[in-house]
Amino acid sequence: MPLTEKRLIARIRAQAGRGLAASSIAVGIGDDTAVLRPPRGHEILVTTDFSLEGGHFRRDWEPAESTGHRCLLPGLSDIAAMGGDPLAAFLSLALPASLPQKWVDGFLQGLLKLARRHRVNLAGGDVSSVTAGLDKVLADIVVVGSVPRGKAILRSGAAAGERIFVTGALGLAAATLNICYAGGATANLNPQPRLAVGRYLRQRRLATAMIDISDGLSTDLRHLCDESGVGAEIAENQIPVAAGSTLNFALHGGDDYELLFTAPAGAKVPVRVAGVAITQIGITTKDRRSWLQRKDGKRLRLV
């Protein structure tokens, strides 16, 4: 059977509502807008992420479930990087008419499995253009979250002389992508957003600044330092490189969705939070440039 917008919307509605507590959603799919009820005294976090077939994913490189997972992941990771709690997700889809229904089902399954795991409801969205002669899948995902007023952990809060940490291990996404480019096995990479770690750091006021690593450690460290007006010195031998990856991928590969944060020298940062390793990789500096201290003793400028 061919895809139609009506059938697709019905399918999303049916799958979205299943078995989810939705106390934060006063009105879901089916009115002019969704109505969200954030906890009293909270501010609202909003993030949007566009994923385009060919650019952000390839249908021949990974199962549809994995694509669905990876389309929602960046939004949840952004909420984690603010120390926030997700309230609801919104999915806008543009689909070629020739797309197999099976792919769409798999995509939704992967996306909704991740949503359920983090207790996020799909509260709306838009399905378009099934018949408009489009030849690529496009998904735009909005995640709305909340955080107690004034408590969001921004990129701009770091001071010089603070310690720099990352969660988990880095470089696996880039290493896997590299295997795909070389014509190797298809990818099935489903990292989890670090929501529990972000929430822990916010509740205990441990982090002064935070960002998620979506563009790669070196680039996202640059973003954090620029917004905070500091520089950084990180040590090559302290960077947690994922098994099967390389230092280069850990430094410059993207899509890891780990958290990068700073904490004052005296802050008691655990080595593990919610089952995720926390590793100090360096310190912030007054000098606004960023450096990598290599194992061979040389110092390399990070741009």
CB of 283 to its own copies, least distance (A): 22
Spatial CB neighbours of 20, under 8 Å, sequence gap ≥ 6: 116, 119, 121
What token pair was written down for 300? 């390399």
Q: Is 14 in the site for its own copies (CB under 8 A)?
A: no
CA distance 70 to 26: 27
Which amino acid type is present at position 166? V
User: Does residue 56 bind its own copies (CB under 8 A)?
Assistant: yes
DSSP 188-252: ---PPP-HHHHHHHHHTT--SEEEE-SS-HHHHHHHHHHHHT-EEEEEGGGS-BPTT--HHHHHH
Among the listed residues 12, 64, 72, 88, the single contact to its own copies using CB under 8 A: 88
C-beta of 249 vs 261, nearer to its own copies: 261
**Are 258 and 166 contacting, i.e. CB atoms less than 8 angstroms apart?**
yes
With binding defined as CB under 8 A, does residue 244 bind its own copies? no
Least distance in angstroms from the C-beta of 170 to its own copies: 18
Stretch that binds its own copies, among 24-32, 165-173, 180-188, 288-296 (CB under 8 A): 24-32
219 binding its own copies? (CB under 8 A): no
Structural tokens at position 64: 């549809």
CB of 195 to its own copies, least distance (A): 13
Q: Which of 165, 171, 178 is nearest to 257 (CA)?
A: 171
Location of structure tokens 């470089």: 171
The answer to whether 133 contacts its own copies (rule: CB under 8 A) is yes
48 counts as binding its own copies under rule CB under 8 A: yes
Q: Give the residue, chosen from 3, 12, 73, 79, that forms a contact with its own copies under the rule CB under 8 A.
A: 79
Query: Cβ of residue 267: shortest distance to its own copies, in angstroms?
Result: 21
Rounded-to-integer distance, Cα 119 and Cα 20, Å: 7
CA angle 72, 253, 201 (to 5 degrees): 60
Q: How far is the CB of 142 from its own copies (least distance, A)?
A: 5
Binding mask 26-45 for its own copies (x = CB under 8 A): xx--xxxxxxxxx----xxx
Using CB atoms within 10 Å of the CB of residue 209, give its burial: 0 to 12 exposed, 13 to 18 middle, 19+ buried. buried
Does position 85 interact with its own copies (CB under 8 A)? The reply is no
For its own copies, the binding residues in 137-166 under the rule CB under 8 A are 138, 140, 142, 144-145, 147, 149, 152, 154-156
> Which residues bind to its own copies, rule: CB under 8 A?
26-27, 30-38, 43-52, 54-56, 78-79, 81-82, 84, 87-88, 90, 92-94, 123-129, 132-134, 136, 138, 140, 142, 144-145, 147, 149, 152, 154-156, 210-212, 227
